[in-house]
């Protein structure tokens, strides 16, 4: 794996994502529980958490803002979605 590269498994969708992660994953991938990471005070699923909650949760997964990951930046919590969103 390329030095400094972090692969994050944030699967969801009614499956047991943690069990799937434990059974098979890409090399040094880290698991992030999307349900736990989401705003716990909002009744809607997977809503954007506060900056503090996000930093705390992601920090437990050894990802930091200094990690060389172009999709975990200060500009957008869900910047990876921009890769898939139509213009």
**Taking the domains of the chain in order of start, what are their residue ranges?**
8-83
Instruction: Report the pLDDT value the prediction gives residue 71, as an integer from 0 to 100.
Output: 46
Q: Which tokens in the block code for residue 50?
A: 């506060």
Task: Give residue-wise pLDDT tens across range 38-65.
Answer: 898 999 988 988 888 888 877 776 565 5
The predicted model scores a pTM of: 0.54
DSSP letters of 7-57? Answer: -EE---SSS-HHHHHHHS--TT-EE--HHHHS-TT-SSTTPPPPHHHHHHH
At residue 70 the predicted structure's pLDDT band, cuts being 50, 70 and 90, is: very low
- Residue 33 near residue 17 (C-beta atoms within 8 A): yes
Task: Give residue-wise pLDDT tens across range 8-24.
Answer: 787 776 678 888 888 88
Instruction: Report the pLDDT value the prediction gives residue 15, as an integer from 0 to 100.
Output: 75
């Amino acid at each position: 794996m390329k030095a400094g590269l972090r692969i994050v498994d944030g699967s969801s969708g009614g499956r047991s994502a943690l069990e799937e992660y434990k059974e098979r994953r890409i090399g040094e991938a880290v698991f992030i529980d999307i349900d736990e990471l989401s705003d716990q005070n909002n009744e809607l699923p997977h809503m954007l958490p506060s900056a503090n909650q996000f930093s705390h949760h992601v920090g437990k997964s050894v990802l930091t803002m200094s990690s060389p990951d172009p999709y975990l930046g200060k500009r957008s919590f869900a910047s990876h979605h921009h890769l898939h969103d139509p213009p």
